[in-house]
């Protein structure tokens, strides 16, 4: 995935978000994560709450998310899934639509966040469900 296929801009969910610059079909990779910033559990525990927001736990690794993937907002009705350090569409995404993920699938164990997604099925608290 080329980063020119997405854009970071103001989000209705929270702060900045990632938006599609083209249509994506279900099953497409939207973003390949930059995993050059892998940290240990101990390093993650020393981070501030704000810094921890950008840490994902996938394939038993703590990864400090980089741009643009660190700007993908959580939604309880996400349109992508994290797999093999990629965000993959689980539904068709239209050009201009915000790309969202369900943080509960890759949030570091023991971490919790307050949800701001505003969806009808909002869980209010996000925590790792794996």
pLDDT at 1: 47
pLDDT at 112: 86
The residue-averaged pLDDT of 15-24 equals 96
pLDDT at 129: 61
Q: Which residues contact 78 (CB under 8 A, 6 or more apart)?
A: 90, 100, 101, 102
pLDDT at 79: 97
Mean pLDDT of the chain: 90
pTM higher than 0.85 for the full model?
Answer: yes
Q: Which residue has the higher pLDDT, 129 or 98?
A: 98
The residue-averaged pLDDT of 53-80 equals 91
pLDDT at 130: 57
Each residue of 75-125: pLDDT tens digit?
Answer: 999 999 999 899 999 999 999 999 999 988 888 788 888 888 889 999 999
Confidence of residue 64 (pLDDT cuts 50, 70, 90): very high
Domains assigned to the chain: 3-127 (2.170.270.10)
C-beta neighbour count of 112 within 10 angstroms: 11
């Amino acid at each position: 995935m080329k980063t020119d296929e997405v854009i970071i801009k103001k989000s209705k969910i929270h702060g900045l978000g990632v938006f599609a610059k083209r249509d994506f079909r279900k099953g497409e990779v939207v973003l390949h994560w930059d995993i050059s910033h892998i940290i240990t559990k101990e390093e993650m525990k020393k981070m501030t709450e704000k810094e921890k927001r950008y840490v994902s736990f996938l394939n038993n690794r703590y990864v400090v998310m980089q741009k643009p993937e660190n700007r993908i907002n959580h939604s309880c009705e996400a349109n992508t899934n994290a797999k093999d350090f990629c965000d993959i569409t689980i539904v068709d995404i239209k050009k201009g639509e915000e790309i969202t993920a369900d943080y509960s699938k890759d949030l570091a164990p023991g971490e919790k966040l307050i949800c701001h997604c505003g969806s009808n099925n909002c869980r209010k608290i996000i925590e790792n469900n794996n």
